[in-house]
Amino acid sequence: MSRPKIRLEQVTVRYVNGAGTRWMRRDGAEHGERIILSDIDLEIHAGEFVSFLGHSGCGKSTLLKIIAGFLKPDGGSVWIDDERVEGPQSSHVFIFQEGALFPWLTIIDNVSLALRAVRNQGERLSKAREYLELVALEGVEHHYPYMLSGGMRQRAEIARALAAQPDVLLMDEPFSGLDQLTRLNLREELLYLHVMLPSTTILFVTHDIDESLQLSNRLVILGEPPAQVKCCRTIRIPHPRTLTTPELGELRSLIHHHLGVHSSL
């Protein structure tokens, strides 16, 4: 098997209490701190679409930001292409839950930021329009972010991310706060874009089980803090997937079980 694209080794994160104090208990552990992630080991291969699931507060978003280089773990390390992650990289693009479009720039100017290497302005704008067309945003390129709906702003975020031609794309609940129909449309677009960029590795944090089942090549479920990998399952069913298939139904029940939901849903 090929070497992993991303490798997590014993990643641990601790949060200190609000007073910022720590003291030793008799058993040697530090009181006044909370372990969020505990000794996370994980390997992810190039081109995988991996979804992270778990209860709120289990450290999913924290883990994603550590992989991106925005946060440093208290213990352990993250390696991408056999190089230790010490900070953010231009080839690793992060789409935040709350959005990160610059409000003072038009949509096309936001996307053009990812194309700074293209020196010719006309060519740069032409490429930006191509990416906006990929996410069905033609005709609104001269609008400002506040003029667009939440779903359209997320499309613009994805267009800007794709314009950067990322090696690794990290998405932290990018569809949260959107209505169900918009989420379904964006799922379809994300699948289409992943087919177009098969070498891009996508890491996706979500609370939506069906979303993870439809999109992912692999599911990673984190337990309650101090969180470890509770379950890691590969999904070999080809796209497009129907959630009513027996295989996905069994996997959904397994996920519910791991998340502590034992009634039939």
Task: Indicate which CATH number applies to the domain containing 255.
Answer: 3.40.50.300
Q: Is the pTM of this model over 0.75?
A: yes
pLDDT for 22 beyond 60: no
Least confident of 78-82, 94-98, 198-202: 94-98
Average pLDDT, the chain: 87
What pLDDT sits at residue 151? 84
Residue 133 counted as domain residue:
no
Lowest mean pLDDT among 16-20, 87-91, 254-258: 16-20
The residue range of the domain holding 71 is 1-91+199-265
Domain count of the chain?
1
Q: Residue 18's pLDDT is what?
A: 55
Q: What is the C-alpha to C-alpha distance for residues 37 and 18, in angstroms, rounded to an integer?
A: 18
- The answer for 165, left when phi > 0, alpha when psi is -120 to 50, beta otherwise, is left
Instruction: Look at residue 111 and tell me whether its pLDDT is greater than 60.
Output: yes
pLDDT tens, 202-234? 999 998 999 999 999 999 999 998 999 998 999
Q: Is residue 242 situated within a structural domain?
A: yes
- Residue 204 counted as domain residue: yes
Residue 1: per-residue pLDDT:
59
pLDDT at 262 over 80: no
pLDDT at position 25 is 45
Domain assignment of residue 164, yes or no:
no
106 pLDDT more than 90: yes
Least confident of 108-112, 119-123, 130-134, 181-185: 181-185
Helix/strand/coil (H/E/C) assignment for every residue in 13-70: EEEECCCCCCEECCCCCEECEEEEEEEEEEEECCCCEEEEECCCCCCHHHHHHHHHCC
**With bands split at pLDDT 50, 70 and 90, how would you rate the model's confidence at 32?**
low
Instruction: Identify whether 103 is part of a domain.
Output: no
Question: Do the domain assignments include residue 76?
Answer: yes
Residue 27 pLDDT > 50, yes or no? no
Residue-level pLDDT at 131? 87
- Alpha-carbon gap, residue 265 to 246, rounded angstroms: 14
pLDDT at residue 91 is higher than 60: yes
